[in-house]
Amino acid sequence: MSGTFVGMPAFPKAAHEAVHNSTLRGNLRHATHTIRAKRANAVAEVSDWAALREAGKQIKDHTLRHLDRYLVQLEESVTAAGGTVHWAADAEEANRIVTRLVKETGESEVVKVKSMATQEIGLNEALEEEGIRAYETDLAELIVQLGKDRPSHILVPAIHRNRGEIRDIFAREMSEWGRPAPDGLTDTPAELAEAARLHLREKFLRAKVGVSGANFMVAETGTMVVVESEGNGRMCLTLPETLISVVGIEKTVPTWQDLEVFLQTLPRSSTAERMNPYTSMWTGTTNSETADGPQTFHLVLLDNGRTDTLADEVGRQALRCIRCSACLNVCPVYERAGGHAYGSVYPGPIGAILSPQLRGTDSEIDSSLPYASSLCGACYEVCPVAIDIPEVLVHLRERVVEGGQVTREGNKVVLKPAKGHVAERAAMRAARWAFARPGVLRTGQRLASRTRRLHPRSLPGPGKAWSDSRALPALPSEPFRDWWQRTRGGSGKDGGK
C-alpha cells in the first residue's frame, strides 16, 4: 500500500493523540452527525431498502465466488470495445504499468479523478519519481494534496479540515501548483468551490492524459462506471486523449442490470442523495466518427492483496464493499479517533477489516486494527451490501492472537501467534479448562461468591489500566446454579417451566 502510511504507530497510540486534538474532534463530530441524519432520511425514502441491500450482497457474493470467470469475460468485453486490459499483481506492478503508459504518450502531467485504488498503490508518488506530475481534481483530494496531508475519509478525504483551514490552505498553496487563489478569499463553501473551479480549469483544458478508478465494471458489456458530484470526473474522463483506469478486481459486476441495485444504494448511502450529480458510463472507446472522449483507453486490473482476502472464507465479504463510507460516518470510534489513526487509505470500520487483509497482520498498525472497534455493530446496520464487519473483526482478532493459516501473495503460509496477548491467551485457556470441568467451575464460583467482600475495586498489575475507567462487575452472594438448585427459578420444585 501507499508508502505514506509505512511505519505508522499502532492504532491505540495514534488514536490517543487524535482524541486530544479538539479541532479535529469538533470537525469530525460536525461532519459525521450532519451526514448521519441525512442518510437515514435518504434511506427511509425507499420502502424496499432491505431488498436492495440483500440483492446487492448477493450480486457481489456471486461475482466473488466466480471472479475468475467474470474477469476473463470483462477482459473480452473491454478489448472488443477498443480498450486495452493490463493485469497488475501488486502495487509496484500497477505503478510501473501506469508510468509506462503515461510515458508512451510523451506527456509529463496527468489529471486524476478521485480513486481509492490509486491512493492505495501510491501512484502519485510513483509518478512523481519518474518526473510526471499528477493533479488531484476532486475538491477534497485537492485540499489534501495542497495541504501535503493524508486522506482521512473514503468519500471526503479532507473531512478533518474545517472551512477556515481549507481557506488557509488554498490561499497559501494554490500558487505553488498553478493559478493562485483569488484575493480576499473567504471561508464560505461556495467561494472555496469557486476557487477550486478556477484553479483546476486550466489543467482540465490542457490535459492529454486522465487517470481514474471506477465504481463498477460490467463484465457482460465491458462498461465502466464512475459516480461523482463535482464534474471533475467528467472532465478527466472525457477531455483527455488517453484514459487510464486503475480498478480493483472486486469492482466487477456480472450484468448491466446489476447496476440498478447499486445506483440506488450507493448515492443514498454515501452522500445521502437520491442520485449523485454526475455518473459517467463508458464502454471502451467510441469510433472515430463519433469521437466522443479519449481515443485510447487502458484498464489496469489490480490484485494487490485482493486474492489473498478472497481466500479467507470469513474475511472475503470485505470485498463486497462499494466504498460508500456510511460505516465511517456512524462509527463512534472513527468519530473520535479520526481517519489518520487507522494508518491506511481505508479508515474506519471497513478499513479495520480491509487493511489487515490486503496488507497482512504483520505490522504493528495492521495487527492493532481489528481492535479499533467497540463491536457495537452500527457499521453492519448501515452497510448497503451487508458486510458483517463485527464478525470479520472478531475473526481477525482470533488470527492475530492464535495465528494460523493465511494466504499471502497467493501462497499459503502459517502465521505465528502475535507477540503480546499472552495474558489474553492464558485467560482463555484457563476459561476453557474450567468450563470443561463442572465440578471445578462450581467450586470456583462458590469460592468467588464467599470471598466477594475481599475483592479489590480495581484490577492489580497489567489489568489496572483497564479497570481505571470501568467498574468491575459485582458478584452475587450466591452463584446462579446454586440459586437455581435451591429455588428452581423461584417457583418451587416444579418451577422453571
**Residues numbered 22-81 forming contacts with other proteins, rule: CB under 8 A:** 27, 30-32, 34-35, 46-48, 51-52, 54-55, 58-59, 61-62, 65-68, 71-72, 81
On whether the CB atoms of residues 458 and 468 are closer than 8 A, the answer is: yes
Per CB under 8 A, 239 contacts other proteins: yes
C-alpha to C-alpha distance for 370 and 349, rounded to whole angstroms: 9
From 136, 138, 335, 388, residue interacting with other proteins (rule: CB under 8 A): 138
Which residues have C-beta within 8 Å of that of residue 278, sequence separation ≥ 6? 227, 228, 229, 230, 231, 233, 234
Of the candidate spans 119-127, 261-269, 391-399, 487-495, the one that interacts with other proteins by CB under 8 A turns out to be 261-269
Of the candidate spans 99-107, 272-280, 351-359, 476-484, the one that interacts with other proteins by CB under 8 A turns out to be 272-280
The residue from 132, 259, 331, 406 that contacts other proteins (CB under 8 A) is 259
Nearer to other proteins among residue 144 and residue 400 (C-beta) = 144
Nearest 5°: the CA angle 331, 335, 337 is 110
| Least Cβ distance, residue 257 to other proteins (angstroms) | 6
Amino acid at 44: A
Establish how many alpha carbons lie within 13 A of residue 382's alpha carbon, considering only the half-sphere containing its beta carbon.
27
Kindly give the pairing relationship between strand 411-415 and strand 242-248: unpaired
Q: Which residue number, 307 or 445, has a Cβ lying nearer to other proteins? A: 307
| Ranges within 441-460 binding other proteins (CB under 8 A) | none
- Minimum CB–partner distance for residue 27 and other proteins (Å): 7
Burial class (CB in 10 A: 0-12, 13-18, 19+), 50: exposed
Residues 353-372 that bind other proteins (CB under 8 A): none
The yes or no reply on residue 149 touching other proteins (CB under 8 A) is no
Positive or negative, the CA dihedral 338, 339, 342, 347 is: positive
Ramachandran category for residue 226: left, alpha or beta (phi over 0 → left; psi -120 to 50 → alpha): beta
279, 357, 363, 445: which one contacts other proteins (CB under 8 A)? 279
Size of the site for other proteins (CB under 8 A): 102
- Residue 48: Cβ within 10 Å count: 10
**From the list 117, 158, 372, 379, which residue makes contact with other proteins (rule: CB under 8 A)?**
158
Beta-bridge partners for 247: 301
Burial group, residue 62, by CB count within 10 angstroms (0-12, 13-18, 19+):
middle
Rule CB under 8 A: which of 86-125 touch other proteins?
A: 87-89, 93
- Per-residue binding string, other proteins, 387-426, x by CB under 8 A, is --------------------x--x----------------
Q: What sign does the dihedral 266-270-276-282 (CA atoms) show?
A: negative
Out of 79, 105, 162, 449, name the contact with other proteins by CB under 8 A.
162
Shortest distance in whole angstroms from residue 403 CB to other proteins: 20
Shortest Cβ distance from residue 213 to other proteins (Å)? 17
Half-sphere exposure of 369 (CA within 13 A, CB side): 30
Q: Cβ distance 29 to 23 under 8 Å?
A: no
Rounded to a whole number of angstroms, the minimum distance from the CB of residue 52 to other proteins is 5
Interacting residue with other proteins among 76, 273, 402, 482 (CB under 8 A) = 273
| 297 phi and psi angles, rounded to 5 deg | -130, 125
Residue in 14, 216, 217, 303 binding other proteins, rule: CB under 8 A = 303
Cβ 195 vs Cβ 185: under 8 Å = yes
Binding mask 177-206 for other proteins (x = CB under 8 A): ------------xx-xxx-xx--xx--xxx
List the one residue from 115, 271, 357, 368 that touches other proteins (CB under 8 A): 271
Query: Which of 116, 146, 301, 358 is close enough to bind other proteins by CB under 8 A?
Result: 301
Give ∠ CA 154-159-165 in degrees, rounded to 5: 145
Q: Which among 255-263, 383-391, 416-424, 464-472 is the span making contact with other proteins, rule CB under 8 A?
A: 255-263
**Contact status: 275 vs other proteins (CB under 8 A):** yes
